[in-house]
Structure formats: C-alpha cells, structure tokens
Amino acid sequence: MTATALKKEMDTMAEHTTKTWQKVCTKADLVEFSGVAAWIETAEGPAQVAIFYLPSERLTGKGDPLYAVDHFDPFSKANVIARGIVGDLKGAAVVASPVYKQHFRLEDGQCLEDDSVKLRTWNIEFNGEEVWIEG
Amino acid sequence: MSTQPAATPEQLIIIGNGMVGHHLVEQLVDNGALERYQVTVFGEERHRAYDRVHLSEYFSGRDADSLALCDADYYDVSGVALRSGESVMEIDRTTHEVITDQGRYPYDRLVLATGSYPFVPPIPGNDREGCLVYRTLDDLDAIRTAAETATNGVVVGGGLLGLEAANALRGLNLDTAVVEFASRLMPMQVDNEGGELLREKIEALGVQVLTERATQRIEDGDASRHRMVFQDDKVLETDLIVFSAGIRPRDQLARDCGLEIGERGGVVVDNQCLTSDPAILAIGEVALWNQSIFGLVAPGYQMAKAALSTLTGGDIHFGGADMSTKLKLLGVDVGSIGDAHGNQNPGARMFRYLDPIKQEYRKLVVSSDGKKLLGAMLVGNNAVYDTLLQYYANGIELPEEPASLILPQSSGAAPTLGPGALPETATICSCHNVTKGDICATIDDGAVDLAGVKSVTKASTGCGGCTALLKSVVDHELEARGVEVDKSICEHFAHTRQGLYDIVRVEGIKTFTDLIEKHGNPDTHRLGCDICKPAVGSILASCFNEPITDAAHIPLQDTNDTFMANMQKNGTYSVVPRVAGGEITPDKLIALGEVAKKYSLYSKVTGGQRIDLFGARLEDLPDIWSELIAAGFETGHAYGKSLRTVKSCVGSTWCRYGVQDSVGMAIQLENRYKGLRAPHKIKFGVSGCTRECAEAQSKDIGIIATENGWNLYVCGNGGMRPRHAELFATDLDDEQLYRTIDRFLMFYVRTADRLQRTSVWRENLDGGLDYLKEVILEDSLGINAELERQMQTVVDTYQCEWSDSISDPEKLKRFRSFVNDERPDPSIIMTSERGQPRPA
C-alpha cells in the first residue's frame, strides 16, 4: 500500500465520513485502454461502476491513469458503459456508449452531446497491484 | 386567411402507362396536383409501368417486378386509379368521355401517352406463327416461348432496337442473324466506316449480319420453320423471326376522334404539349412536336414536365430535345452527338480516327472555322462521349487541335473538360435537367457537400451517368468558394479510410498504436475514438487477419466484436452460429434448441437463414459457445462488419426448376469468405435458377445459376434504400466465380469508406459499373493478382474467433459482468411472451 493510499484510508476512517476507500479488484482484472465493470458500496447503497485504464503518457495532470464513472447508461437505461470504446475528443478522454454512441468525459462524466446529462464519477487509484475506489 | 373549401376535383385521364405516362403520374403526385385532379390511368398491358430501356435484361435474370418503375402499391398509396389491362376503344370529344372495353369515363383533361408500336414491314407471310416483335414484356415472353423449340432466329432491322433484339436471341442460345435493308448497321447513328467496324465487332460475337437485304416474302422452310426470300432470290432459313424495323406512333385513338395528325403520323402538339383540342395533351413517342417524334425517354420526361406545367398553370414549355445518345449494344459502345453525319451543316469539316486493331472509330464534325463542335460519332469506345457532349451542348470553343479530342492519349487518360470550363448553362444531369448554374445556386444556398447538392437538386439520381461529372463540378465549386473539402476520417487522422488502408498495407503497420504514433494528429492525446478505432481495427483484420480479441486489438473493437455477440437494448447479447448456406442437420437443430432452452434464450429465425438466440448474459457467453462448438458450430460473425450469410434456395438437388446446386455453391462461398472483415457487413445470395428464390439481387453479391454456370450480380441492397444488384459477369464457372468475387471484395475493402455498403460505394464510384468491370474483369489497374493474393491470405488464416477465445483464460476474463462479483446484473429482468423470454 502506498503512503498516500494508506493515509487516505486512515483519514477516511478517522473522519467517519460517508465516503470510504474500498478495494475493488487488481490491476490484472483491468484491460488496457478499455473498461471493466465492478460493484462498489456508496452512501446511497451498492452501485455499478465502469473502470477505465488508460496508461498513456500523453494524458497528464492526473495521478494514476484510472477513471471510474457510472456503468449505467442514462440513454439506453442499461448497465453497459464499461463496454464502450474509449478515446479522446477535443482534448479530453471519453467513452462512447455502446448502445446509442453518446460520448461521456471520463474526468467529470459530462455528456458531450447533451449538457443536461452527466455520469457520476468516483476517485480511483492504484494501491500497489490493487485498485481502490472512494465510494 | 381562411382555407378555401376543396372544390370538386377535376377528372384527369391518362391513356398509357409506359415510362412517360408513369413519369407524368409521379410528377403529379410529387407536385401536389392530386388536390386538384382525380387521376385515372389506363394501361393496356397487364404489368404496371416498367423500364423499357433495360428490357433486354428480362432475359438475363430480371423479371417484371424488378423492371417495374414503382412499387406494386405505389398507385394505391398515391391515390391514383390504375386500370391495367383495360383497353381504350374511343375518345368522345363531344361528351368528354373515354370509352373502354369495360365502361365510359368522363374527363376534364385527357393526356395521350400511348407511345408507339413496332413497325412490321408489309411482307407476305409476316403474320406466320413465330413472326414476332420486340416491344413489351409479353412480346419477350412470346419470344422466349418460341425460342424453346427453335435453334436459330433472325432479326429484321439492324437499328438500335434490332441489335438489342439480336442480343436477346443470342441470350436465348439461338444462332442469330440480323437482316438490314440499308447498307450498314445502325444507319441513323453511324456512317459507313463506323457501320463496318460495328459489323466486324458484332460478327465476332457469332451474330450473322446481312445488309442490303429486302425481304420479299416469308414461306415454309425446309430445314427450319420459315424461309425468307430476298430481292435477289437468295434465301435464309430460320425458326423464329423478330421484326424490329422501327417504331410508329400509336395515334389511332387521336385519328379516330379527329385530332390533328402529322403527315407521317404522330399527334401534333405545341410547346405546352397541347393537341389541336386544348382539353387534350399528348406526350412521349405519340406526340409530334415541330415535325419531330422523339423516340428517347429523356425528351419524353421533359414533355411530361411540360404537361404537368400546362395542367397546373405553370410556364414550363417543351422546347425540343437533343437526340445525342450513347449506348452499349451487344457489348459494343456506340455514341452519336448532334449532326453526327455532318449533313445538316453546310461547310462542316470532319476529323476521323480509326484504330483497326482496337476496333475503335471516332469522328468529329466541326464548324468551318474549326471552333465549334457540331456533331460526333463514336464506335467501340465511348470514353470521350461526355466531354464531347459538353463541347457540343454548350458551344464551348474547341482546342486549337480539335483532333486531340479523339486521338489516343499517350497517358492513357481521355482528355476531359475541366469543370471550370463549363458555362453556367451546361446541363450536368439530363435526367433531372440540372445545370451547373443550379448546382452553384445550391452551394450558395448552403449545401456543403456532394450529398447535400444531390438531395436538393436530385442530380445524378436518375441514370447516374453524370455521377463523376457532378462530383468534379461540386468539388470544383466548393474549392472555388474556399471550402476545404475535408476528407479526414476523424480528428485523430488527416486521412480517409482508404488512405489509412494504403498506409497500413504499404508500411506493414500491424497495430493501432503504431499507426497513430506514426500518422496520427499530434494535437490529440492519440487515444483514438469510436470512429477511427473500429475502422482501423477492421483494416488491420482485413490485411493481417490476427484475432480481433488479441490484446493489441481488443480496445479497437465495438462491444459486439469485443464480446463476439450482438448487444441488445437491455445489455444482453444475441448469439448467431454460422449455418452456411442455411443448410442444417437435425442434430444441430436439436443442439441449438437444447442450448436455447438451457440458457433461457429467445429464439428467432433470421432473414439470412440462421437462428438467432437472444437474451444471453455476458457471463454465459463462454459456456453457451463451449456447448455450441462441441455440437459442431462455429461463430457466425453476426456481430462483425464482415461476411454475414450466403442465403440460398434449395437448387437443382431438389427443385424441379433448378439448373445448378445453389446450396453447394452457397456453402463453398460462405466457407471461403467467412471471417473477412470489411468496411461494412456483406451479404450474399445464391439462386439455383432465374426464379431467384434466394433474392440474390438484393445482396452485395448475388449469384444466379444459368445452364452454363453462374451469373454474378454486385452491389445490391435491401434495407432502407433498396438497390437491385447489377449484372457484372455471366456464365462463370466455379473457379472464375471465386476469382472474380475475390477481386471484387478486396477492391471494395481497399477503396470503400468506413461503414459504406457496396451499394453506396458503387454509387459513389467514379466511372460506375463500367469502371468496376474494367478493374475487376480486365485488370485495368494491374492489381488483380495482388487482390487475389490478399484474399487468399485471409482465407488461409481463418480461425473461429470463439474457438480461439474459449481456450484462452486471459481472453475469457473479459466475459464477466463484474470483476468483483460473479453474480449476473440484477437489473436485467425477463418476462414471458408467446412462450418465450423477452426483456421486461
């Protein structure tokens, strides 16, 4: 466990906030430049998240090359976002819904085609070989 | 403003349901004239209007339905009464009634579109059994029936229609002869030199050509049914005679009711297509305008437009029409422009070029000062026709050396007239009468590309002959306005799909990462996007055929390719195993049923003769496929932009009409091309006879059995914009068929845009079908060996993607709904309908 992650875990435990860092899977479960889905616990109950792993040196200004957004696609109302194609559009990393192809920014979940639609996002980091999400 | 109450509609009767009569109906429908008129159409034939220009294709596989100019319910849906098979006997101009064999119909306005009839010379014996004409589908049926018991046939008349009829007889496997009264074939269109060349080319096809022959009588023959006796007492024996000695206007109804008729026939009309009775109009081949009958479809359509205008109070007039034509008769190009013989312009000068080896003849008729083109004649090669027509039609000044226009070019390319040189008045699309000025106006009004111009002006949506010219004009005008025609596939690559394909081939680039590092736009993060990634994934698969599920390729794939199944709206997948040719054993059917039952899958038979199993959960896919593979199935690529199915009829094995084993061929083809990734999906059909039960002519590749082998059709489509496949090659043996399809498909893979089906690709292909034939059949680009080799690589490296995946634990890891929970997605809920599961 890295020092940062350990500190975060301790911080969250200490503050007793509703958010908790939780281990979701390992690096080996991820697919480079693509997505997988996982369950996490959140304050509102269990949630399906889509986790994307983009190990590209060109994406800067971010820690680990990981993103976690809603797995639920608000347009098709199906849990499919992790199965979309990832890429970059107008300077931002995005995923395209595999059903109706809308694009969502991975950083903040914003839909590029519809200002009123936004996916939830979560903090996500590597902790050694493990993947942790703050849910 | 209040709405006017609808007045009682006026009765408009159209006599004749040929191409021109039908075009008038379409014009009436499209221009809202049905609010004013209640329209009744009388058609003497039992078929609704059909494409007479392509009548000869009736013998090469097309039927009445495919030649029809509209859908069967077009008239019903449009609210036009079509009375087919009802003959008009009389027009009563005093009571304003049309009298048919079934009743009397009142009219306010009447349009004669009765067309013409074939002229049969008054030769004793011309009414003998087996003496036929070539004009209608029924005529063709009669010819086909008569040909069944005949071994040879004669066409009387060596003009345009005569040569078409000769081609038809040849197609029916008759020894064919053409008898022409004049000293050469096509005397109206070509001169002696051109006629001689034409004769050589047509005789080389095995058709006997007899000129300067006047038939005196027809009597019983010895060896054959008939004997034709000529003016010099020479004779010719034959089983079947088709008269094609010109056409005459069908003006009898007009004569009987006292309308003004020309000296040599034809209902006299003015610029508004009005006859001598202003309640009655005449259009098409029955109408005589300015002492001329126009025996072509384009002027007929122009008359229909003028008639619409007259009927609706507009001011479009018919002002004559140019009779320039280009044709392909018996595979021989013939073109005729303006004063092709040079006998209508005193002082005209002529240039001639004759190549006796290539058998090409070209003639220019120019003004005495050498500046204007007055006419032209082409035999054997129509490549320069379009350019010459522009010089002629627009009065463009000829180059200093007019002969350069018809001399062979050392570069190989025909000299073309740049789009910038055309005046605003130049007609680009003659079917829809669109000028360069119209196109410029459309662009000034905001059209930004070819598709936009086409949808506004309809240019090049008729015969399509002007496609290449239209594109060059549009591109030229856009560029002239400073519009950069951006052909980049997306923001990551400043290349077209074709460009990327060439780069991948030439540089041997095998991964997306390599490609985007070397050729990607540096202003992006170089991750690619959902446009370029699947496109490149497809290109890499077409070129190298590595499994798409390999780590380097998996991020490029759409979800369907990733999971090798088709995602449905609730996030579940459908599974379609390959059932090559639609042939399936009872055991395999049972196996499919067992799997569907075990995994609660909704089962439906597809249009491509397969079985689709819906509602499979992501995590169940590997187990489902393990069982299917154990039962002998392999993946069906229903998820891929790749070969889908080869649909077939049951063929000669079972069907009493079948002439070849269509199922066997379908299986061969499906197994050959399965796994080929392409710009879009590809469907095949194979029919065992011309009844075409496999609907091959609506497929990308259609194959129809003949007595001698296979006829190949290409670039058909069903779906949103149906398109009939076009006949590409005839009577191929099995090997020739594979080779031709190899080349065709690889050329498509190489040159099409992303997600462009063969039908759209074909419509956008400069040079059209002729160009495609030159490339694929004549190897004009010298690439056929390469295309065949590339296809063979794909064939040799085929492997079932599902077999490859279920034996690889790394790849199977992807088939988990959640990386941290083995349970299925609880939000997928099924209910039951008609005894099967469906999404709740």
Give the model confidence (pLDDT) of B308-333 as tens digits.
999 999 888 998 888 888 887 777 88
Measured between CB atoms, which of B527, B818, B819 is closest to A88? B527
Whether residue B816 and residue A36 make contact (CB cut-off 8 A), yes or no, is: yes
Task: With cut-offs at 50, 70 and 90, classify the pLDDT of residue B798.
Answer: very high
Q: Which sign, positive or negative, has the C-alpha torsion B67, B72, B75, B81? A: positive
Q: What is the pLDDT of residue A1?
A: 45
Beta strand segments in B277-418, E: 280-282, 287-289, 325-329, 332-338, 349-355, 360-366, 373-379
pLDDT on residue B412:
39
Interchain CB distance below 8 Å, B527 and A31: no
A36: contact with B, CB 8 A cutoff? yes
pLDDT for A58 equals 76
Interface of A with B in 62-91 (CB under 8 A): 76, 78-80, 83-91
Contacts of B813 in chain A (CB under 8 A): 29
DSSP-assigned beta bridge partners for residue B732: B710
Calpha distance B614→B599 (Å, rounded): 10
Question: What pLDDT does B161 receive?
Answer: 86
DSSP H helical ranges for B31-68: 64-67
Closest residue by Cα to residue B107 from B81, B84, B85, B73 = B81
The pLDDT of residue B752 is above 70: yes
State which residues of chain A have pLDDT below 50.
Answer: 1, 3, 10, 13-16
Q: Reply yes or no on whether the pLDDT at B721 is more than 80.
A: no
Distance CA B389, CA B376 (A): 8
Residue of A25, A29, A83 for testing the chain B interface, max B β-carbons within 10 Å: A83
Q: Given A31, A83, A88, which is nearest B559 (Cβ)?
A: A83
Interface contact A91-B524, CB threshold 8 A: yes
Computed over every residue of chain B, the mean pLDDT equals 90
Phi, psi of A127 (to 5 degrees): -130, 90
Encode pLDDT of B251-274 as tens digits. Answer: 999 999 999 999 999 999 999 999
**Claim: this prediction has a pTM higher than 0.80:** no
pLDDT of B660 over the 50 cut: yes
CB contact under 8 A, B819 and A36: yes
Distance CA B257, CA B263 (A): 17
Which chain B residues are closer than 8 Å to A80 by Cβ?
Answer: 559, 567, 571
Residues in a beta bridge with A126: A131
A100 touches chain B (CB under 8 A): no
DSSP state of A118: B
pLDDT, tens digit, 9 for 90 and up, residues B442-494: 988 888 888 788 878 888 766 656 776 788 788 888 878 877 667 788 999 99
Cβ–Cβ gap B555/A32 under 8 Å:
yes
Q: In which element (H, E) is residue B253 found?
A: helix B252-256
Q: Are A99 and B569 a contacting pair at CB < 8 A?
A: yes
The Cβ of residue B672 has, within 10 Å, a number of other Cβ atoms equal to: 20
Least confident of A80-89, B32-41, B455-464, B723-732: B455-464
Find out whether B174 and B151 touch, Cβ atoms under 8 Å.
yes
Mean pLDDT across the stretch B376-398? 88
Residue whose C-alpha is closest to residue B61's, from B754, B685, B696: B696
| pLDDT of B347 | 87
Q: By C-alpha distance, which of B770, B757, B688 is closest to B728? A: B770
The C-alpha atoms of residue B216 and residue B223 are separated, in whole angstroms, by 19
CA–CA gap between residue B39 and residue B28 (Å, rounded): 9
Mutate to test the interface with A, among B818, B822, B825 (most CBs of A within 10 A): B818
Residue of chain A minimizing CA distance to B570: A78
Q: What is the pLDDT of residues B353-375, one digit of tens each?
A: 998 888 899 999 999 888 999 99
**Cα–Cα nearest to B359, from B204, B212, B208, B160:** B204
Q: What is the pLDDT of residue B824?
A: 86
Tell me which of B549, B556, B819 to substitute to probe the interface with A (most A C-beta atoms closer than 10 Å). B819
State mean pLDDT over B493-507. Answer: 92
Tell me the β-bridge partners of B99. Answer: B90, B104
Question: What was the pLDDT predicted at B330?
Answer: 79
Strands B573-575 and B602-605: unpaired
Angle made by CA atoms B327, B332, B333, in degrees to the nearest 5: 45
In a mutagenesis test of the B interface, which of A27, A29, A33 is the best target, namely the one with the most B β-carbons within 10 Å? A33
> Does B413 score more than 50 pLDDT?
no
B141, HSE (Cβ side, Cα atoms, 13 Å): 7
Report chain B residues whose CB lies below 8 A from the CB of A79.
571, 825, 827
Backbone angles phi, psi at B532, to 5 degrees: -80, -30
Residues B816-834: tens digit of each pLDDT: 999 998 888 999 999 999 9
Task: Please tell me the least confidently modeled range out of B10-19, B99-108, B716-725.
Answer: B716-725
Buried b (16+ CB within 10 A) or exposed e, B376-387: bbbbbbbbbbbb
Residues of B with CB under 8 A from a CB of A: 491-492, 524-530, 532-534, 551, 554-559, 562-563, 567, 569-571, 813-814, 816-821, 825, 827
The predicted pLDDT at position A62 comes to 67
Over residues B165-186, the mean pLDDT reads 91
Nearest to A24 among B526, B562, B820 (CB): B820
Per the CB < 8 A criterion, the answer to whether B421 and B399 are in contact is no
B528 vs A48: CB contact, 8 Å cut-off?
A: no
Confidence of residue B66 (pLDDT cuts 50, 70, 90): confident
Checking ipTM against 0.90, whether it exceeds it is no
* Amino acid B7: pLDDT: 64
- B529–A88 C-beta distance less than 8 A: yes
Nearest CA in chain A to B522: A58
From CA B514, how far away is CA B509, in angstroms rounded?
7
When comparing pLDDT for B736 and B473, which is higher?
B736
A76 chain-B contacts, CB cut-off 8 A? 569, 571
* pLDDT tier for residue B645 given thresholds of 50, 70 and 90: very high
Kindly identify which residue of chain A lies nearest to residue B491, measuring between CA atoms: A89
Between CA B610 and CA B644 the distance in angstroms is 10
A34 touches chain B (CB under 8 A): yes
Helix (H, G, I), strand (E, B) or coil at B430: coil
The rounded distance, in Å, linking the Cα atoms of A25 and A7 is: 20
Sign of the four-CA dihedral B666, B668, B670, B676: negative
Cβ contact A38–B821 (<8 Å): yes
Residues of chain A contacting residue B551, judged by C-beta atoms under 8 Å apart? 32
Work out the minimum CA distance from B531 to partner chain A, whole angstroms.
9
CB-nearest to A87 from B528, B554, B817 is B528
Q: What is the DSSP secondary-structure string of B601-658?
A: -EEEE-TTS-EEEEEE-GGGHHHHHHHHHHTT--B--TTSSBEEEEEE--GGGT-SS-
